[in-house]
Structure formats: C-alpha cells, structure tokens
C-alpha cells in the first residue's frame, strides 16, 4: 500500500510540475522563444508584405488610447484616423504573442485602399497592455466589446465598424460574434482562427511533445482556471460562432499546419449567418494576405462592399 501511495504521490507531483511548465510556456506572459524556432512560422517572419506594413505603420501619426478592462486591467490601443474623414472603422485584433502595432499590413489595406479609420488594440498580456496571462480570445472578446464602444465614440454617429482578427485575434472576433454586438458592427473577418483553446493546445501538445491530452490538458486547464479565470473548454470559438448574428468572412491558409485547416471548415459550417470562405493556396499560418494579397484584398473588399456599406 505504501508503494502504491508513494507512486501516486510521485505521479501527482510529476503532473503538477509538467502542468506548471506548460502553463508558463503557453498561458503566462513570458517570452515565447519556441515560436521563433518554429519552421511553420517562417513565412510570417520573412514575408516582405509584413515588413513593409510594419515600416509603413511606424511612420503613421498614431493616437494612443487607453481603457480599463472588466477586471481592472489597463489596456492600450493605437488609432489611425482615415486620410479623409470617414464613418468606417476597422478594429484589428492581433495574434498570439504579437501586438497591435504589428498589424501594419492589414492597417495599410484598410487605411490606404478602403479609406477606413483603424483601431489596433494590444490584447491583455501583450504589448503595452497590462495582464499576466494570455486569454486565447476568451477574456479578449469582452475587452473587444469595450474597444467597439471606443471606436463607435471616435467615429461618431452613423458609425460602421468591421472586426478583423488574425490567428488568436481571429478567434477573438469569432468569440465576440456570439455576444450581443452593437448595431454599428456590420461585418466580421476571421483569419486563421482556431476552434477552441482546448483543441488547438491539444494539437500542439501532440505536435511538440507527442503527448496525449490526458492527464496534462485537464490539469493545465484547471491551473489556468485558478490563475487566469478561464478554462480551455470555455474558450471556444466554435461554440460562440453558433450564436453569431453578423455576416462573417472566414480566411485560412491552405498550407497552415499551425492551426489546422480543418478548423476553418468547422467554424464555417457552424456559423448560421451570411458567410463566405477564402482558402489561400500555399499560405502558412497567418500569411494569406502576404502570399496572395490580390485574392485576399479582393475577397475582403467584396465582402465589405456587400455588408459594411
């Protein structure tokens, strides 16, 4: 019996240690060095369109805006007014371990080609926003609701708002689609979103460590619930999109091996509203706008011309 108890205690300690490691690796606000070594993200790092977009945005007269989240965090965003006064604003939500000022390629498209104002928040736990954890879109969706109010106030009466997110930002706007959105929000663009935190993290647990989900995923999820206030199964874009009421455009790189392509098909199938889908050949994760900017911009422009007039 003592041996059984000792073995059980050892396994429990091992599970807790591994869970703490994975929490720090994937959820806590820490340096994500493993992303820099991931060959699946090479397109993102090397794409000329992103480098040009960053350089362009760095030269723009950005206004810094701050607000307080529902749980008391100071959040920050960057606002770029349209060259000619406009009632249209795009809210751009960035991906995991990124920040609002890294959305230059998307901001340039909306600002220069569509004549939009652009609002680029730093998600909680990212950039210059406060927060000690990454929300995988779940708490971020509530932060986004507040940024929607900010954008509507900045834009004024008759505001037309578009939500456009990439990667975790795509999951954020998809999760927000299931909330009661103000009438000013006319359309949502979800680029390479995952179906849920639980599914995408289970996928990476297998890809990175060749481990099954049990018992680590339940343990890390519980640790996240205790430390960050949400569990992985709560952070579900696919559950939220089933409640969507706004037109949605789903985009995914056909060669995405970071967020599996099958996830966009499931999100698209679950969405009950007017919707469209663009798969970009040869595009890895988050690079569709860089790999085929003509097809990307044509699809988004046509979608917004129809639903965000």
Closest CA to 124 of 9, 29, 254, 8: 29
- In three-state secondary structure terms, 11 is helix
Query: Which carries the bigger pLDDT value, residue 156 or residue 287?
Result: 287
Cis peptide before 215 (omega within 30 of 0): yes
Please report which confidence band the pLDDT of residue 5 belongs to, taking 50, 70 and 90 as the band edges: very low
| Model confidence at 18: pLDDT above 60 | yes
Amino acid 12: pLDDT: 46
Query: How many residues are present in the chain?
Result: 309
Mean pLDDT score, 233-238: 98
Other residues' Cβ atoms within 10 Å of the Cβ of residue 60: 16
The answer to whether residues 73 and 124 touch, using CB atoms and an 8 Å cutoff, is: yes
Cα 278 off chain centre by: 18
| Model confidence at 13: pLDDT above 60 | no
Compute the radius of gyration of the chain from its Cα atoms. 20
Note the pTM of the prediction, 2 decimals. Answer: 0.94
Sign of CA dihedral 260, 265, 271, 275: positive
| Model confidence at 140: pLDDT above 90 | yes
| Model confidence at 8: pLDDT above 60 | no
What the chain holds in terms of domains, given with CATH numbers, is: 47-196+235-307 (3.40.50.1820)
The answer to whether residues 290 and 260 touch, using CB atoms and an 8 Å cutoff, is: no
Q: What are phi and psi of 275, to 5 degrees?
A: -155, 160
Amino acid 108: pLDDT: 98
| Residue that the structure tokens 């932060």 belong to | 143
CA distances, 268 to each of 182, 212, 232, 263 (Å): 22, 27, 21, 9
229: its two tokens: 């206030």
| Model confidence at 192: pLDDT above 70 | yes
Residues 82-97: tens digit of each pLDDT: 999 999 999 999 999 9
Amino acid 157: pLDDT: 85
Angle between helices 197-209 and 216-228 (to 10 degrees): 130
Alpha-carbon distance 33 to 49, whole Å? 23
Mean pLDDT score, 253-266: 98
Residues 110-131: tens digit of each pLDDT: 999 999 999 999 999 999 999 9
Amino acid 82: pLDDT: 98
Residues 146-180: tens digit of each pLDDT: 999 999 999 888 999 999 999 999 999 999 999 99
The answer to whether residues 94 and 103 touch, using CB atoms and an 8 Å cutoff, is: yes
Amino acid 11: pLDDT: 42
Please report which confidence band the pLDDT of residue 210 belongs to, taking 50, 70 and 90 as the band edges: confident
Please, what is the average pLDDT of the chain? 93
Query: Which carries the bigger pLDDT value, residue 21 or residue 59?
Result: 59
Mean pLDDT score, 124-146: 98
Amino acid 299: pLDDT: 99
| Model confidence at 7: pLDDT above 60 | no
């Amino acid at each position: 019996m003592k041996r059984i108890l000792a073995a059980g205690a050892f396994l429990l300690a091992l599970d807790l240690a591994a869970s703490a490691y994975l929490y720090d690796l994937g959820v806590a606000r820490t340096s994500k060095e493993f992303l820099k070594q991931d060959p699946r993200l090479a397109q993102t790092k090397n794409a000329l369109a992103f480098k040009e977009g960053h350089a362009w945005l760095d030269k723009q007269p950005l206004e810094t805006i701050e607000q307080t989240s529902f749980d008391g965090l100071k959040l920050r965003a960057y606002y770029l007014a349209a060259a000619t006064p406009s009632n249209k604003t795009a809210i751009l939500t960035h991906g995991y371990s990124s920040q609002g000022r890294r959305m230059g390629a998307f901001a340039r498209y909306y600002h220069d080609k569509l004549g939009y104002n652009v609002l680029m928040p730093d998600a909680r736990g990212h950039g210059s926003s406060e927060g000690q954890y990454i929300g995988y879109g779940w708490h971020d969706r509530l932060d986004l609701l507040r940024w929607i109010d900010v954008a509507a106030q900045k834009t004024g009466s008759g505001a037309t708002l578009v939500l456009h997110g990439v990667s975790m930002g795509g999951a954020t706007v998809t999760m927000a689609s299931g909330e009661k959105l103000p009438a000013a929000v006319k359309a949502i663009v979800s680029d390479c979103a995952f179906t849920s935190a639980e599914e995408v993290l289970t996928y990476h647990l297998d890809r990175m460590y060749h481990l099954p989900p049990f018992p680590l995923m339940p343990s890390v999820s519980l640790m996240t619930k205790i430390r960050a206030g949400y569990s992985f199964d709560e952070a579900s874009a696919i559950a939220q999109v089933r409640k969507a009421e706004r037109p949605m455009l789903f985009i995914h790189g056909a060669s995405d091996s970071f967020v599996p392509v099958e996830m966009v098909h499931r999100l698209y199938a679950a969405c009950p509203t007017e919707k469209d889908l663009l798969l970009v050949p040869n595009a890895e994760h988050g690079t569709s706008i860089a790999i085929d900017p003509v097809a990307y911009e044509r699809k988004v422009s046509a979608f917004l011309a129809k639903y965000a007039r």
